[in-house]
Structure 1
Amino acid sequence: MPTYDDDLRLAHVLADAVEPTSTSRFRAGDLQVSTKPDLTPVTDADLAVEDIIRAQLKRARPRDSVQGEEHGTDGSGPRRWIVDPIDGTKNFVRGVPVWATLIALVDDGVPVVGLVAAPALGRRWWAGVGTGAWSGRSLSGAKRIAVSGVSKISDASMSAAGWRTWAELGKRDAIVELMDEVWRVRSYGDFWAHMLVAEGAIDIAPEPELAVHDMAALVPIVTEAGGRFTGLDGRDGPWSGNALSSNALLHDEVLARLGIPTPSAD
């Protein structure tokens, strides 16, 4: 199995490089916010952070392709970096500190490196295939993380959001029923819910609508922590347009309740 230690170190270098830009624009009085064609917000920080990462990857990994939320995909080949410069842009715009830069490496269709850098929370989470999942302020201050051992839905803590989309998917009654059965429900949102799964603070995090750049960096962290990350169709990885992360013990039961078959499975 190939190792990705150098790529993981590079992901930290990239996060270090953009942190002064993202933190300086957070809660800035002159923050520039516009609306994309999909009606989601984009800030000058999103654009600047992605530009910095792309420039550094062009120098450090010129043969790799890069896919970013704001500027699409450049290059081709089996190795692709997937970047979400500011995950949680709506939080960023409103001054809520739950936002992060997400950096992933996908090799031949498999997410093999993931880093989530949340400077306003003073935390990072990261993993490479075969190296375990870790969290801390930096590589030098890291602590290995693992999912919980909760095995009953009635004992589970769940993060849930996206009420309108659950209704559109015909799963609103199912998600409400699940919420009634678990021990505790909160809506942590964005990357944070899945990182809480990875470190064992919560047990289930279903989301009904997500893009690849929202998920790619999360997959290695959750799975290396001992959990599972799939779409609501049960397909491994960030390719389904929605997600379920869990401690693995509860995954199949939650999929049975909330699962959405793929067209090919109909």
Structure 2
Amino acid sequence: MKRTWIKKSLLVILLVGILFVLAGTVYLKMNTYAPSEAALAVAKTGKSEDQILFFEGEQGKPAIIFYQGALVEKESYSLWAQEVAKAGYPVYLVATPLNLPVLQQNAAEAIIAEHQLTAVVMGGHSLGGVMSSRFVSSHLDHAIKGVFFLASYPDEKGSLENFSGSVLSITGDRDGVLNQEAYQEAQRFLPDQTVYEVIAGGNHAGFGSYGEQKGDQSATITNEEQQTQISQLLIRWLENLE
């Protein structure tokens, strides 16, 4: 009798756990930011493979591996990614499980190995930038030439104090999502050679192309203008990196 009760209790716990996971998954998917029509159209010009959207560049140029912001689909970054690739730099936009980079911090490892990349630049938007810096911090022996942050910063686990490569931090002065106090505090985890750029009129969601984001401020420039500035700043920085 006691064993039957235990089995029934375990079954109930298991069912509740499954329902909780399913409910959580549905909630995350319902709150995921999808790419704009413009971004989706550009994404179709790239190559999709194994949860990666790839924009081809030139051989011999550093390859960019980019981690998405939390709950933002990878295609949302296609506009600036395509422009950077046209300048010669291959771009790998990574999709992590449930669009949460924290669930696959080392996604870049497989990309580097599979494509035999010898010169890499890591980047990320918001939470993606935090996870990107954690990857770099634990892979200083890899051929990582630079790191860039879009409305993001490293935490203590991803400290880049001892990183000798180039670092770029781009923010928007209309960003309502980025924790400004934490951003300022996190600068102690960045090396002295870090370059800081601010996009006047740019907001948090404008670092991708997926519409409005909860908690964000309204941008005073168009998404197209912010995307153009992002690509220009990245290309200029990448050219100095070589």
Structure 2 length as normaliser, TM-score?
Answer: 0.30
Larger Rg: 2
* Structure holding more strand per residue: 1
Structure 1 length as normaliser, TM-score?
Answer: 0.28
